Every structure is written in structure tokens, then in C-alpha cells.
Amino acid sequence: MLCFSRLISVAACATILLPASSALSESEEFDPSRFGFGGPRAELLILGTFHFKDAGLDTYKPQHDVDILGAERQAELDEILDRLEAWGPTRIAVEWDRDEQARLDERYGEYLAGDFEISSNEIYQLGFRLGKRLGHERLWAVDADSRFYEPRVDREEWARQHGQEWIFEHPWHERFERLYSWEDERKTRLPLRETLLHMNSPERLAIGHGHYLVGGFKAGDGTDYPGADHLTGWWYVRNLRIVSNLLQLAREPDDKILFVVGAGHVPILRHAALSAPDVELIEVAEVLK
């Protein structure tokens, strides 16, 4: 029916033109379970940490050490291990190159046999110690190499040549450095559990990931995006490869996978894990609080 008369209001016209009932039938409502989604899934807990013994490989160089082998910190670590043990992971993954799984097996075997004295590295202090507590015969190496776009481009030089010097002028880098410096000192005063809860909080993870999205990342124009391409090959590829390795461990719905990794990796890992249909992402706060 057409609405010709000016006497008929717009609302009345709309009413006439609409179907008799706009409510969805039960069969039309979105229910993921109708399509086989949901149901029992493997659980994945991604525990982001600072490096207990920093190797100097990151941009920010810590100025303060935490004596993780001291009696006080060992007691704090035991508290964390107690909570992780209570959660009961069936597989423990660590930030160790997957193509060196044999070396990880060898070292972990030596540790179980009492022939390897572990250092302060978080792989040993969290991964090895928890694995021994739980009676695991092996740990899982899931780290991977990056794969850069070629040829590599000097993003700062590219920006100068294309009139984009401004992307390096904003003081974002200095702001992030101040944040890292504050946290670097703060971790020497807080209990280890509190530090890890802070590092794995959604707000802190989101802020930290933002450092990858300023400065050189913005270099790009037209069909040429050296900033985004650099980050894709260097950082996103590596982390998505890690996700692939983690999801290969999710073999049964009752699997519980713990991954111990540097906290900077966590935002991309979480982003992928939250959408992976065969795993349920477990929040660190649920286990450590």
C-alpha cells in the first residue's frame, strides 16, 4: 500500500510498510550453539611476565633487578606456583624456539634428574618448577622466528623523504619510557604476584601494545606502507606463529594449556585466542587472585 495522502503521518506510513511482526522467530535468533560453536573447549592461560633475568634484547633496558633466587622472592614464587598448580595445566608451553624442542627436552630431563641447576630465567622458575610439581614429562617449545618483508626499509628515512617527519616528533616514546621506568622500580617493592596481576590486567596490556602503533608504524602512503609491513613481519607474524603452535596443543576439550611468555607478546596472543573456537581463554586474575 502506498502513502499518498499528506494526512497520513510518516509514522503511520512506516507502520503500514513494516511487516505485521518485526520480532525474530526463535529459529532466526542468533545462537552459536546451533552451528556447533561453544560446548567443552580446551582452556588456555597466557601468563605474561617480565624477564626475571633480563637479556638486554628489548628496547627498554631495565635499571632494577629482582633477586628471584633470594628467599623472599622464592616464597612469593611458591605462592604463584601453588595457584598455578591448583588450576592444573595439562601442558606447559614456554618461550623457547620450537625448532629447539630437543634441547628443551634435554635440559628439562636433566633438571628432573637433578643434573641441572636452574637459573633465574622465568622459563625455569615458572615452567620447569611447575612441570616438576605436576609430574609432567616434558614442556612445550612454542616460540617462532619472524619473517620480514623484503627489502627492509628504514622507516625514519622513508618518512623524511615523503614529508612525514611529524610521525617521529610526538613524544609518545618518551611517555612509554617513563611508564617502563616507573614499573621497573615498582617491581622491586611489590610482591611478585601483584606485579604479574598488574602486567596482565586488560588496561595495562592495551596501553603497552600501543607502543607498537606510534612512530615508525605510521610511515606509509598510497600503496607503500613500510611501517605496517615492518610490524607485520617482525611482530605480528612471530606472535601468530606462536598462536598456531599453542592451538596445536589444544587437542582435547579437557586440556589446560599454560603459556609463560614475556608480557609484550600477550595482546596479540589474547586477540587471537579470544576468537579461536577450540579454546577458552582463562584470565590470569582468575587464577592468581
pLDDT in tens, 104-137: 999 999 999 999 999 999 999 999 999 999 999 9
Q: How confident is the model at residue 27 (pLDDT cuts 50, 70, 90)?
A: low
Q: Contact, 237 vs 86, CB < 8 A?
A: no
Q: Which range scores top for mean pLDDT: 11-15, 50-54, 263-267? A: 263-267
All three cell numbers of 175, joined, read 611517555
Q: What is residue 36's predicted lDDT score, i.e. its pLDDT?
A: 86
Query: What is the rounded distance in angstroms from the CA atom of residue 11 to the CA atom of residue 1?
Result: 14
Mean pLDDT of 2-25: 47
- What is the per-residue burial (b if ≥16 Cβ within 10 Å, else e) of 255-268? bbbbbbbbbbbbbb
CA 34 to chain CA mean position, Å = 30
Length reported for the chain: 289
Q: Binning pLDDT at 50, 70 and 90, where does residue 26 land?
A: low
Burial (CB < 10 A; 0-12, 13-18, 19+), residue 114, is: exposed
β-strand 279-282 against 42-49: which pairing, if any? Answer: parallel
pLDDT of 245 above 50: yes
Q: How high is the pLDDT of residue 35?
A: 87
Quickly list H helices, 187-262.
192-199, 202-209, 226-231, 237-247
pLDDT of 57: 63
Alpha helices for the chain (secondary structure H): 10-17, 71-87, 101-112, 122, 129-134, 155-161, 172-186, 192-199, 202-209, 226-231, 237-247, 266-275, 284-288
Q: CB-based contacts of 42: which residues, under 8 Å, 6+ apart?
A: 249, 250, 251, 252, 253, 254, 255, 256, 257, 278, 279, 280
**203: Cβ contacts below 8 Å, ≥ 6 apart:** none
Mean pLDDT of 248-258: 96
pLDDT the model gives residue 159: 93
pLDDT at residue 16 in the model: 46
Give residue 20's pLDDT.
47
Residue 249 and residue 101: Cα distance in Å, rounded?
14
Instruction: Tell me the HSE value of 182 on the side-chain side, using a 13 A CA sphere.
Output: 8
Q: Which of 2-6, 167-171, 216-220, 228-232 is predicted with the least confidence, judged by mean pLDDT?
A: 2-6
Query: Torsion angle of alpha carbons 146, 151, 152, 157, nearest 10°?
Result: -170
Q: Which pLDDT value is given to residue 59? A: 74
Averaged over 173-186, what is the pLDDT? 95
Q: Could you tell me what percent of the chain has a pLDDT over 70?
A: 90
* Chain mean pLDDT for the chain: 90
pLDDT band at 170 (very low <50, low <70, confident <90, very high): confident
Q: Are 252 and 282 in contact, with CB atoms under 8 Å apart?
A: no
Q: Confidence class of residue 53 from pLDDT cuts 50, 70 and 90?
A: confident
- Number of Cβ within 10 Å of residue 115's Cβ equals 9
